[in-house]
């Protein structure tokens, strides 16, 4: 599928194509009023979706509910058509749902190499397959290859985020959730990471939900943009349209 076709499909994403990831009537809250209130969202296979919105809009909450870290009050999460709402975080991960959570979420007491092996543990059976996948990752992420024996806490912020992304990709997930991967990184590193992400989506048909404050960078690699405000979707359109809509940007994205 070409990028244009995907973008066109984005507009009609409530159509009949089977969704790789879907949330249906999702209501999530912590203690008081719901933070996400009756959300519907469908991601067709291979689509890269930028999830945008002001601080506190509910982006992190949505991602954590999809991966199972937060239980919804009602509604469903479907992975490739299958209802996974009642399954555990671990089960969703083993079924091919990967999440790179907020912050440089690596295991700091393990080495780079061990972190990568950990990523492939459940999706790539056999030490040989994992070794090969890890070595392949070192070609994509060259800075990591030089630091393979370093402990996680010896890495820079950029290297940590690279490792977190590499560790997620190594599992060959079907759906990848990313929570502000660009946070605190130099523009050049952001561009590099996003290019790798786009490439992975194109080559492997990976479906991506990318929560970002860095609107311009996120939209530049996304097929589609979804803007949330106060826990509801206020705009859902092809990435170029969102990028080109000054009223939308002004109202919800603050620039």
Partner 1 sequence: MDRLAFLLATGLARGLVIALFALSLVIIWRAARIVNFAQAAMATVAVYVAYAVVTWTGSYWLALVAAVVTGMLVGFAVERWLIRRVPRDNPLPGMIVAIGLVMILHSVIGILFGPRHVPMRAPFSREPLYVGDVAVLSPYDLFVLLLALGIVVALAVLFNRTTLGLQLRAAATAPEVSRLLGIRVPRMVTIGWMLSSAVAAVAVLLLIPTELGLNAHSADILFVHAFTVAVLGGLDSPVGAIVGGVAVGVLITLVTGFLGAGMAPIAVLALLTLVLLVRPGGIFAVKEARAA
CB of 34 to Mg ion, least distance (A): 17
* 52-60, 119-127, 141-149, 223-231 -> range binding partner 1 (CB under 8 A): 119-127
Q: Residue 16 or 31: which CB sits closer to ligand ATP?
A: 31
Query: What's the gap between Cα 58 and its chain centre?
Result: 15
* 54-62, 85-93, 161-169, 236-244 -> range binding ligand ATP (CB under 6 A): 54-62
Residues 6 or more apart whose Cβ sits within 8 Å of residue 193: 161, 162, 165, 181, 182, 185
> In the structure encoding, which two tokens stand for residue 192, read together?
């590099």
Residue 152, interface with partner 1 (CB under 8 A)? yes
**What are the distances in angstroms from CA 235 to CA 51, 66, 154, 199, 248?**
10, 20, 41, 26, 8
- Binding to Mg ion by CB under 5 A, coded x per residue (else -) over 19-58, reads ----------------------------------------
Instruction: State which of positions 14-33 bind ligand ATP (CB under 6 A).
Output: 30
Dihedral through CA 181, CA 186, CA 190, CA 191, nearest 10? 170
* 58-66, 91-99, 139-147, 235-243 -> range binding ligand ATP (CB under 6 A): 58-66
Q: Residue 64 or 123: which CB sits closer to ligand ATP?
A: 64
Query: What's the gap between Cα 204 and its chain centre?
Result: 15
Reference 205, options 178, 179, 176, 226; nearest CA is: 176
Total number of residues that touch partner 1 (CB under 8 A)? 31
Q: Contact residues for Mg ion (CB under 5 A)?
A: 60
């Amino acid at each position: 599928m070409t990028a244009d076709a995907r973008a066109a499909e984005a507009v009609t994403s409530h159509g009949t194509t089977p969704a790789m990831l879907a949330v249906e009537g999702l209501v999530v809250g912590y203690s008081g009023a719901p933070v996400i209130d009756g959300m519907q969202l469908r991601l067709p296979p291979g689509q890269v979706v930028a999830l945008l919105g002001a601080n506190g809009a509910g982006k992190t909450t949505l991602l954590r509910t999809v991966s199972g870290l937060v239980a919804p009050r009602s509604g469903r999460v479907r992975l490739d058509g299958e209802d996974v709402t009642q399954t555990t975080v671990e089960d969703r991960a083993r079924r091919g749902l990967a999440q790179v959570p907020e912050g440089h979420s690596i295991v700091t007491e393990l080495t780079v190499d061990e972190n990568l092996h950990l990523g492939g543990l459940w999706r790539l059976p056999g030490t040989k397959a994992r070794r090969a996948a890890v070595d392949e990752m070192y070609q994509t992420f060259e800075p990591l290859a030089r630091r393979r024996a370093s402990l996680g806490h010896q890495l820079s912020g950029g290297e940590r985020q690279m490792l977190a992304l590499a560790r997620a990709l190594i599992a060959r997930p079907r759906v990848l959730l990313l929570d502000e991967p660009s946070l605190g990184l130099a523009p050049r590193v952001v561009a590099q990471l996003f290019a790798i992400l786009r490439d992975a989506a194109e080559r492997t048909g990976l479906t991506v939900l990318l929560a970002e404050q860095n609107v311009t960078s996120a939209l530049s690699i996304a097929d589609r943009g979804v803007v949330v405000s106060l826990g509801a979707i206020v705009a859902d359109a092809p990435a170029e349209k969102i990028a080109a809509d000054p009223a939308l940007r002004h109202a919800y994205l603050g620039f």
